[in-house]
Amino acid sequence: MGSAGHRRRGLSDLAQVRHLDYRNVTETGFDAVSSIGLTEHIGKTQLPGYFGFLYSKLRPEGRLLNHCITRPDNTGPARVTDGFIYRYVFPDGELEAGYLVSLMHDAGFEVRHSENLREHYARTLAGWCANLEAHWDEAVAEVGDGTARVWRLYMAGSRLGFERNQIQLHQVLGVRLGEAGSPACRCGPTGSRQRQACGRPQSRTGRAPARPPVASGNHERQSSAWLRLSLGSHTVS
């Protein structure tokens, strides 16, 4: 589905969609890697190898953005095997905590920034829940009543979990340093050499162009296509 969409839009020479285990990626020398929602499925014992593999795929001064749902502390178990989510949504899923930063350091990354997006993800889930309700008949026709109800409950419960700080969501930016220890910058108001190192395009004035505004609260574009991606592979009897 993704590759066909790229072809229709004339983007085949700019992007590829591959369905494969991340460990089967053979290319190296990437400028940046973005890992979204994968860490929860790796498992704690496999995380050193995971971060080490991603580190090996980056060029010097390349960046990794690791984005995943996390726990607020290390006092509880990473895996709740008798829960609803484990049985119906994410079997074998684990939520890690703050030691993700330490593991990235151990793999060779210099962590440049960490941010908790907990409240924002609660708002995102509110939009997804509303969109599912608005397209309920389409969702049931696509995946069946049982799966649709599982995901309705899962998203509503997750929204509460984020609002009450029972779960969090962290983005961590790490850099593979070059030989001289020069990091990629976060594109702040610093010298041109540091801006150039970060890889962002420069304007004619020598300043990094402003990031485009990010719309918030507009979830109408979340259509039944999202439901196909998110619901289609899960069934419940």
- Secondary structure class of 101 (helix, strand, coil): helix
Report percent pLDDT > 90 for the chain. 57
Beta-carbon count within 10 A of 117 CB = 16
What is the arithmetic mean of pLDDT over 7-36? 90
pLDDT band at 124 (very low <50, low <70, confident <90, very high): very high
Query: Model confidence over 19-32: pLDDT tens digits?
Result: 899 999 999 999 99
Handedness of CA 63, 67, 70, 72 (dihedral sign): positive
pLDDT-derived band at 80, boundaries 50, 70, 90: confident
Domains of the chain: 23-198+223-231 (3.40.50.150)
pLDDT digits (tens, 9 = 90+) for 213-222: 433 333 333 3
Q: pLDDT for 101-114, tens place per residue?
A: 999 999 999 999 99
Is it the case that residue 95 has pLDDT exceeding 70?
Answer: yes
Helix axes 99-106, 47-57, angle to 10 degrees: 50
Q: Dump pLDDT digits (tens) for 147-176.
A: 999 999 999 999 999 999 999 999 999 999
Distance, in Å, from the CA atom of 123 to the CA atom of 104, rounded to the nearest integer, reads 29
Mean confidence (pLDDT) of the chain: 80
Q: Residue 5 phi/psi, 5° resolution?
A: -65, -40
Residue 197: its pLDDT value, please? 44
Please name the helix (run of DSSP H) or strand (run of DSSP E) that holds residue 54, with its range, or none.
helix 47-57
Residue 61 region by backbone torsions, left for phi larger than 0, else alpha for psi between -120 and 50, else beta: left
Residue 237 tokens read as 């009897």
Which position has the higher pLDDT, 183 or 30? 30
Q: How confident is the model at residue 232 (pLDDT cuts 50, 70, 90)?
A: very low
